[in-house]
Amino acid sequence: MEIRPGIHLGYCTNIHRGETWAETFSALDRHTMEVRERVTEPGEPYGIGLRLSARAAEELAGDSAALSDFRFWLDTNNCYLYTINGFPYGTFHGSRVKEQVYLPDWSSPERLAYTNRLFELLIGLAPEGMPLSVSTLPGSFKEFIAAEPERRPEILKNLRACSDHLDHLGDRFGRDLHLGLEPEPLGYFETTPETVAFFGQLLDGESGSRQERILQNIGVNYDTCHLALEYEEPEEALGRLVDAGIRLSKIHLSSALRATPTASARHRLASFADDVYLHQVIVRQGEAVVRRFKDLPEALQWADSAPDPGEEWRIHFHIPLHADPAEPDFGDTRDHLLGTWRFLENHPGLCSHFEMETYTWEVLPESLRSGSVVDQLVREYEWCRREWP
């Protein structure tokens, strides 16, 4: 939907299970239509933030009848696509994902081919003339790069190749196409200084006009949960990206869990650990980040014997935008999201694609659930409409 003229808001359908195209479409036809009925006015177009696995994308691209049927379904239901989440390549629910969500990374031809296919599908399915975005991982995972430094040049090569492909598609179809690299805790780049440095590497050795094309085609998917986890302030973080000429391709609206790591809070945090996703933990003492952990169980184990577990923990666990943990020593990072909105209100035109991304429905503690998954999504829409500047 257009929450403001030219500003598109949707929820990312990665909250629903679906690795095949049939499973993906079933979730759209059931859950997404229920949400649309409850959040739109009669006749109001409804924007969908689609998630397609590599398997679903290949199936859809290879079946002209399925593509035609999906176009008809979108038109019939007054829905439109404007963005795809291309970060999770394979299975994303119900079994161990953890660091495998970063594979294949951008050092691989499979990641390049998958991302190119997503853009090609978008062009064939989205309304004509609309700018289109795909979000993706921050190149790789830090552990993978540390173990295999030779991934670095391949990542840069493949991203430049993706930019070239977007040039070709954009010229052919008259489209503004942009890829959003998503900084994430313990990703190849996770903070905004690391992100700016990475873009410096991406542009290194390129000519002036080619640098401009790369910056037009490749930007940042700014996830408000992820940058809050890094204890960055939105005005400074966003300003740093803008000053470096980095495009804000998309904004993921999300909130993280924060905690004062008392013994009681750590005991309750155990209910947020699961066997599916990584829940990175960043520990602050005073004004300094003092520890980073790949997953919540590692942080909890360390704290059991640490003389000082730190002043604050921020945990990579997406919690619903409208939800308040409402427990002693617990909080959320919605202040970063609200600060992001304020920055963009004062700097209009920087980003037109917004997507709510609370994908953790299946692993949320019961205390943070709001009825069904549809109920939760509706309440997130309501919160955004109420809080949007």
Closest CA relative to residue 357, chosen from 130, 154, 84: 84
Residue 10: pLDDT over 90: yes
Average pLDDT for residues 8-14, to the nearest whole number? 98
212 vs 206: CA distance, rounded Å:
9
Residue 327: pLDDT over 90: no
pLDDT tier, 47 (very low <50, low <70, confident <90, very high otherwise): very high
Average pLDDT for residues 123-145, to the nearest whole number? 97
Average pLDDT for residues 185-211, to the nearest whole number? 96
What digits encode the pLDDT tens for the residues 269-315? 999 999 999 999 999 999 999 999 999 999 999 999 999 999 999 99
pLDDT tier, 160 (very low <50, low <70, confident <90, very high otherwise): very high
Grouping H, G, I as helix, E, B as strand and the rest as coil, residue 238 is: helix
Closest CA relative to residue 281, chosen from 183, 146, 142, 186: 186
- Range scoring the smallest mean pLDDT among 2-6, 22-26, 45-49, 111-115: 2-6
Please tell me the predicted confidence (pLDDT) of residue 367. Answer: 86
DSSP annotation of 127 reads P
Cis bond leading into 307, ω under 30°? no
pLDDT tier, 326 (very low <50, low <70, confident <90, very high otherwise): confident
Give the phi and the psi of residue 171 in degrees, each rounded to 5.
-65, -40
Residue 97: pLDDT over 90: no
DSSP assignment of 167-226: HHHHHHHT--EEEEE---TTBSS-SHHHHHHHHHHHHTT--HHHHHHHHHHEEEEEEHHH
Residue 93: pLDDT over 90: no
Considering the chain, what percentage of its residues have pLDDT values greater than 70? 100
- Residues 6 or more apart whose Cβ sits within 8 Å of residue 102: 137, 140, 141, 144, 187
Grouping H, G, I as helix, E, B as strand and the rest as coil, residue 273 is: coil
> What CATH homologous superfamily does 2-254+333-387 map to?
Divalent-metal-dependent TIM barrel enzymes (3.20.20.150)
58 vs 114: CA distance, rounded Å:
8
251 vs 160: CA distance, rounded Å:
22
Give the phi and the psi of residue 315 in degrees, each rounded to 5.
-115, 130
pLDDT tier, 61 (very low <50, low <70, confident <90, very high otherwise): very high
Average pLDDT for residues 338-346, to the nearest whole number? 97
Please tell me the predicted confidence (pLDDT) of residue 370. Answer: 81
Considering the chain, what percentage of its residues have pLDDT values greater than 90? 95
Arithmetic mean of pLDDT over the chain: 96
Give the phi and the psi of residue 328 in degrees, each rounded to 5.
-55, 135
pLDDT tier, 12 (very low <50, low <70, confident <90, very high otherwise): very high
Closest CA relative to residue 226, chosen from 195, 252, 199, 198: 252
pLDDT tier, 373 (very low <50, low <70, confident <90, very high otherwise): very high
C-beta separation of 151 from 140 below 8 A: yes
Helix (H), strand (E) at residue 248? strand 248-253
Residue 141: pLDDT over 90: yes
Strand partners, 9: 354
Please tell me the predicted confidence (pLDDT) of residue 322. Answer: 96
